[in-house]
Amino acid sequence: MSATEDGSPGRVPLDSNRFLERDAEVHPSSEEMVAGRYSATVATDIAAVEALRPLWRLWTDSLDTDLDFFLHQLSHDSSALAPYVITVYNEGIARAMLVGQVKKRRASTVVSFVNIPGPTMRVLEIKKGGRIGQQSQTIDRMLATELFKSTQSGEVDSICFERLPLDCELFQQIQQMPGFFVKERVPHVFCYSVLSLSDSGSKDPHVFSGKTMREMRRKTRNAERAFPGQVSLKCFSQPGELDAGLCEAMRVAATTWQHSLGQGFNDTAQTRATYLFFAEHGWLRIYVLYVKDVPCAFLAGQLYNNNFYCQYAGYHPDYTGFSVGSLLTARVFEELAAAGVQRVDLGEGGQEHNRRLGCQMVEEGTVHVYSPTLRGVWLNLFFGTTQIIRTGGRRARATLKLNRLGMVWRQYLVGRRQIHHRSAYVSSERKSL
């Protein structure tokens, strides 16, 4: 599938049969290669994506866009229909790519800690860092044009960028796309924390500032005073350690409020398949902090290309007074720095704890683009309405000083569901024995 910068035809709309035919082209024909002109192709099957491997491996440097991980997700995610990789060429030379997957799933959003289900949709998901290759306004215009065509043709009901910097050129080009119903929506703007371990090459790397180090030493002394010689840290990273690592992490996760609300870490078949893939490639890291041989905090993530990506974390509420979460992250980050890791991506959250660690805060948005079809309009109304309710509720709480009410509501939901979740997990553990 292809198109030139002047918008000449050449695309074949995606449909369910096309996903199975495996006949997409990834290289533009000679007629398209007019000197000084750009063209774009879209790869929509595994063979077409594999043909891009030499270019892909040159450009990607993050876990989210690793080609092997991308292909693993396609084969193990039941909601994935097909890859959708746009490649932009200039005079026959590939310049950049936009990496995504078409999925069929039910739309959902969260309002006041309650999950609100929406209609079923075919969504083109663009991964974090999915825009790889040369930076250019013309290239981003071509990418935005291809995305616009996918919504106009009905190939997808919506496009979702998981994490897109709102100051990037691609977002600016998306904002300029014509049409009222196709206009972008940013339902969420999140603050992401990144910690630099740039001093990790030294013999004794200093991960934290002096003030933070003093605070960590104080918390360590308190824990050691309460549990002398009984605080330990273990890392699970090998395929043979996967079952034990997931079990220990789940023992902690099952006690958290996030798990009570159906969020956070969960030991599912898809999680196991993904973590086994990470372990086989040497990327898996599951850290568990123990007190008296009882797991009380965990951190699960991936070590990739000298970067550590924090995915899930949690601590047992019975050990809140001993700051076990802070102790765990401090020990883990010091170990990573000593091993030569340069950067830690802590993911979403601008908590005060992350600020004290000296993290850099980066704002990125979840960006939606909807097709001008009936289902696209319905999705636009669904996310737009819930966004208005969510924003209005926050403003009302802030104006009326009812923030305490939000905490009470969360505690009520947690209390109502926690007993059910714990009993269900204990029951499943007994069956597995």
223-252: pLDDT as tens digits: 888 888 888 999 999 999 999 999 999 999
pLDDT tens per residue, range 195-218: 888 654 455 555 666 677 777 788
Mean pLDDT of the chain: 80
Select the more confidently predicted residue: 209 or 287: 287
Lowest mean pLDDT among 71-85, 365-379, 385-399: 385-399
Under the banding of pLDDT at 50, 70 and 90, the label for residue 118 is confident
The yes-or-no verdict on residue 286 having pLDDT over 70 is yes
Confidence band, pLDDT 50/70/90 cuts, at residue 258 = confident
C-alpha 327, offset from chain centre: 25
Q: With bands split at pLDDT 50, 70 and 90, how would you rate the model's confidence at 380?
A: confident
Q: Is the model more confident about 7 or about 56?
A: 56
Rounded average pLDDT over 47-71: 93
Report the percent of the chain where pLDDT is more than 90.
Answer: 38
Q: What is the pLDDT of residue 31?
A: 34
Provide the 10 A C-beta neighbour count for residue 412: 11
> What per-residue confidence (pLDDT) applies to 79?
92
The pTM score is: 0.77
